Amino acid sequence: MNESSGRISARGKVFRDPVHGLIRIESEDAVLLDLIDTPEFQRLRRIRQLGVSCLTYPGAEHSRFQHSLGVLNFAQRILAALEHRYRHESQAAQLIRDHAHTVKCAALLHDVGHGPFSHMIERAFGVLSDHEQRTVDVVMAPDSGVNQALRAHGVDPEAVRDLIKKASPHRLLVDIVSSQLDADRMDYILRDALATGVKYGAFDSEWLLGSLCIGSEPQSDNPGDPTQWRLCLDERRGLHSAEQLIVARLHMSLQVYYHRATRGWEAHLLCLFKQAAELARDSRLPGATPELVTRFFASDGGLSLAESLLLDEASLICAMQVWAGSSAEEHRDLAELSSAFLYRKKLYLGHELGGMKSGQAMRLAHDLHQFGKENRDWLLDPSEFSSYKDFDSIFATSRHKEAGRSSTAALLLSSGTLGEVSRPVEQDSAIFQTLGKSRGPTSGRVYSHRRISEKVRQLLAG
Amino acid sequence: MHPLIAIAQLLLVVREIKGRKKLQKIVHILKDCGAPFHERFEYSFYGMYSQQIRTEIDALTEDDLVREDEFQAGANPAFSYSATPRLETLLTDMKMSDDPSWAQTARDLNKMEPQELECISTIRFLQGCGFKDEALRQRLGELKPHLKQLFDASLRAAIALPSFGK
């Protein structure tokens, strides 16, 4: 145990937070303070939650560090709400008490594997496409501060891993960290809305927390089995807060996560990363590029875990400043991309695909190659591609009646009586049913460098 | 490459996939082997599942590139998916109708029963989480008690799968 947990008083520790007000860590949860103090967690201060959204919404400067504390807070409150509700149900209460530390640690650590500008880094380099796996790598690495802190406090890293990867036999506990009602989603929607100033991201989190209950898996063959318990909303009081949450998520997706300008900057960054990687593989990056960044791009993102944890937004911004200043002909494109990003000069223009059908969209992607290289001169941004959790369509249509979808993608309602099966909220909600009938917000976009944008526009018009 | 290409090629390669579970598990296993499927999977009560596959198949069906047919599988209706001539024409025009490197593996997987595929897919997922040996067997038994008897054969099959481009 380190200095922090050694000094934690009987009253615990309190953090002020713009979303939650106060985030309290109790003295019996000293492991959380030690985790916060690890280099791996502190690094999250230097990674923005919304990456390049700050170029669209100047207020979007909040970090993954703040968000992770917020997720912890919601997870604590969910555990407390369930423990209170089921205080007379010994099996449920005991399950929650037995695993509370693990759930809190998983909630706190759920993003620790995220890299800088993760949405584009993950897309640019396949080896980084699974940030959950990177998080688990941190949790499991024997020489990581996180792993050592967990073991020092008797928390099994494998149990934390299982919650993050959803490999735990207790789906209820997984749901607290990652589900349609999870602590992660609840925090980032409120936090992102507050930081960006988008008012439509508001929802009644207090009522929602008070409406949480346990129900069994919708198609459960043994609803009394605790391993088939799921986190649900009380059917008598939770429906409207579910509807509000989903509408908030929809608005945030459309206005923030899939904002045209933001996605344009993400496209810009992806093209920049690809260009840097191409030069790095041939050892042709400017000589003043930080060594770590050179190795990162030369290996297509394949740094060791320890090295990758040194990479933050500042590292990449520093590299861009070096690149922007290079006058060598071989660095012309790199310099242009870097300078344009640093000084917010738009190079990539977005073209909406409207209601383009899938066959036409596939043919378009093929035809665009005549104008230049993919992920260099142009880039597809289909709406279904997103590292953001919320952009997958979550509205069920009649075509979507399948068990797997109900289990993973639906908000679940239940009576709250242990042993009763839950059901997707769509069955009870006119709003969900109506939203489910719509095709979806958009078919996606193409972003192209302005030097070929007129040709792309003509191709789309023809 | 458009993200729908891989799943379109899959249906062209195997001609028909009977059942949504088979489709989900085949794509997951191929992706885990390194085939260029972009769909995100998460572990669920029904094993590895991707919502994106659902919406992609809907989009391909709406555009008459994939045909969805209902058939009886025991007591419940089920759905099969097959490439239409229009899909074959599209991929041929785009010079993407040749067998990709993972085609034979896809055909081999398509010959398996859904439960075998579910077991292989779950084993691959758990191996990716770090489970091995007896811990792997035990966790599979906890998550999928109905698949316990398939574990040994599925483990052999999971280990024998090739690696594409990793």
CB contact under 8 A, B1 and A365: yes
Query: What are the CA-CA distances from residue A342 to residues A194, A322, A323, A449, B6 (Å)?
Result: 25, 11, 11, 17, 36
Percentage above 70 pLDDT, chain A: 91
Strand ranges inside A217-280, DSSP E = 229-234
**Does residue A322 fall inside a structural domain?**
yes
Percentage above 90 pLDDT, chain A: 72
Domain count, chain B: 1
pLDDT tens digits, one per residue of B82-127: 999 999 999 999 999 999 999 999 999 999 999 999 999 999 999 9
**Does residue B165 fall inside a structural domain?**
no
pLDDT of B77 reads 80
Chain A nearest CA to B59, separation (Å): 6
CB contact under 8 A, A165 and B129: yes
Q: Which residue has the higher pLDDT, A243 or A36?
A: A36
Strands A21-25 and A13-17: antiparallel
Are residues A159 and A299 part of one domain? no
Query: What are the CA-CA distances from residue A18 to residues A80, A190, A248 (Å)?
Result: 21, 10, 19
Query: What are the CA-CA distances from residue A400 to residues B20, B65, B67 (Å)?
Result: 11, 18, 16
Q: Which two tokens stand for residue A27?
A: 């003295």
Q: How many CB pairs under 8 A join A and B?
A: 106
pLDDT band per the 50, 70, 90 thresholds, residue A443: low
Lowest mean pLDDT among A126-135, A308-317, A374-383: A126-135
User: Which residues in chain B have their CB less than 8 angstroms from residue A359's CB?
Assistant: 63, 65, 86-87, 90
Q: Which residue has the higher pLDDT, A127 or A203?
A: A203
Q: Which two tokens stand for residue A196?
A: 């960006």
**Does residue A250 fall inside a structural domain?**
no
- Give, in degrees to the nearest 5, the angle at Cα A289 between A288 and A294: 140
Question: Does the pLDDT value for residue A392 go beyond 50?
Answer: no
Asked if the C-beta of A392 comes within 8 angstroms of chain B's C-beta atoms, the answer is yes
Tell me which residues of chain B have a C-beta less than 8 Å from any C-beta of chain A: 1-5, 8, 20-21, 24, 38, 42-46, 49, 51-52, 54-56, 58-60, 62-63, 65, 86-87, 90, 93-94, 96, 125-126, 128-131, 139, 142-143
Minimum CA–CA partner of A229 in chain B: B45
CB contact under 8 A, A403 and B2: no
**Average pLDDT for A419-440:** 80
pLDDT of A184 reads 94
pLDDT of B106 reads 98
pLDDT of A140 reads 97
Minimum CA–CA partner of B124 in chain A: A167
**Does residue B121 fall inside a structural domain?**
yes
**Does residue A40 fall inside a structural domain?**
yes
CB contact under 8 A, B52 and A169: no
**Residue whose tokens read 């008797």:** A154
CB-based contact A172:A214 (threshold 8 Å): yes
**Average pLDDT for A29-55:** 96
pLDDT of A1 reads 47
Chain B nearest CA to A311, separation (Å): 24
**Does residue A134 fall inside a structural domain?**
yes
For A181, the domain range is 14-197
Contacts of A145 (CB under 8 A, 6+ apart): A37, A38, A39, A40, A41
State the average pLDDT for chain A.
90
Domain count, chain A: 2
pLDDT of A385 reads 43
Alpha-carbon distance A72 to A173, whole Å?
13
Minimum CA–CA partner of B78 in chain A: A402
CB contact under 8 A, A380 and B45: no
**One-letter amino acid for residue A166 of the chain:** K
Alpha-carbon distance A200 to A210, whole Å?
22
Q: Which residue has the higher pLDDT, A118 or B87?
A: B87
pLDDT band per the 50, 70, 90 thresholds, residue A386: very low
**Average pLDDT for A388-416:** 62
CB contact under 8 A, A362 and B90: yes
Q: Which two tokens stand for residue B139?
A: 């966790």
**Does residue A123 fall inside a structural domain?**
yes
**Does residue A342 fall inside a structural domain?**
yes
Question: Does the pLDDT value for residue A124 go beyond 90?
Answer: no
Q: Which long-range contacts (CB under 8 A, 24 or more apart) does A55-58 make?
A: A55/A261, A55/A262, A55/A265, A55/A344, A56/A259, A56/A261, A56/A262, A56/A265, A57/A195, A57/A196, A57/A197, A57/A198, A57/A256
Comparing CB atoms, the residue among A364, A365, A408 nearest residue B49 is: A408
Query: What are the CA-CA distances from residue A207 to residues A37, A69, A75 (Å)?
Result: 33, 21, 15
Given A197, A223, A247, the domain boundary residue is: A197
Question: Does the pLDDT value for residue A250 go beyond 90?
Answer: no
User: What CATH number does the domain containing A74 carry?
Assistant: 1.10.3210.10
Comparing CB atoms, the residue among B2, B130, B139 nearest residue A380 is: B2
Are residues A307 and A187 part of one domain? no
CB contact under 8 A, B52 and A392: yes
For B110, the domain range is 5-160
pLDDT tens digits, one per residue of B6-61: 999 999 999 999 999 999 999 999 999 999 998 989 998 889 999 889 888 988 99
pLDDT of A398 reads 46
User: Which residues in chain B have their CB less than 8 angstroms from residue A363's CB?
Assistant: 90, 93-94
Q: Which long-range contacts (CB under 8 A, 24 or more apart) does A240-243 make?
A: A241/A203, A241/A204, A241/A207, A241/A208, A241/A211, A242/A208, A242/A411, A242/A413, A242/A425, A242/A429, A243/A425, A243/A429, A243/A431, A243/A432
Asked if the C-beta of A161 comes within 8 angstroms of chain B's C-beta atoms, the answer is yes
pLDDT tens digits, one per residue of A182-227: 999 999 999 999 999 999 888 999 999 999 999 999 888 888 999 9
Q: What is the pTM of this model?
A: 0.93
CB contact under 8 A, B129 and A136: yes
Given A197, A221, A243, the domain boundary residue is: A197
Minimum CA–CA partner of A161 in chain B: B129
Minimum CA–CA partner of B138 in chain A: A169
**Does residue B13 fall inside a structural domain?**
yes
Question: Does the pLDDT value for residue A388 go beyond 60?
Answer: no
**Does residue A420 fall inside a structural domain?**
no
Asked if the C-beta of A382 comes within 8 angstroms of chain B's C-beta atoms, the answer is yes
**Average pLDDT for A55-75:** 97
**Does residue B110 fall inside a structural domain?**
yes
**Does residue A251 fall inside a structural domain?**
no
pLDDT band per the 50, 70, 90 thresholds, residue A4: low
CB contact under 8 A, A380 and B131: no
pLDDT of A433 reads 78
- SS3 string, chain B, reads CCCCHHHHHHHHHHCEEECHHHHHHHHHHHHHCCCCCCCCCEEECCEEECHHHHHHHHHHHHCCCEEEEEEEECCEEEEEEEECHHHHHHHHHCCCCCCCCCHHHHHHHHCCCHHHHHHHHHHHHHHHHCCCHHHHHHHHHHHCHHHHHHHHHHHHHHHHCCCCCC
Q: Which residue has the higher pLDDT, A124 or A1?
A: A124
**Does residue B74 fall inside a structural domain?**
yes
Q: Assign A142 to helix, strand or coil.
A: coil
Going by the DSSP 8-state scheme, the letter that residue A63 receives in this structure is B
Contacts of A376 (CB under 8 A, 6+ apart): A271, A274, A275, A449
Are residues A298 and A191 part of one domain? no
CB contact under 8 A, B130 and A402: no
Question: Does the pLDDT value for residue A390 go beyond 70?
Answer: no
CB contact under 8 A, A357 and B94: no
Given A182, A197, A212, the domain boundary residue is: A197
**Average pLDDT for A26-49:** 96
CB contact under 8 A, B49 and A407: yes
Question: Does the pLDDT value for residue A394 go beyond 80?
Answer: no
User: Which residues in chain A have their CB less than 8 angstroms from residue B58's CB?
Assistant: 397, 399-400
User: What CATH number does the domain containing A450 carry?
Assistant: 1.20.1250.30
Q: Which residue has the higher pLDDT, A386 or B7?
A: B7
CB contact under 8 A, B8 and A169: no
**Residue whose tokens read 């040749």:** B98
Q: Could you count the other beta carbons within 10 Å of the beta carbon of residue A97?
A: 11
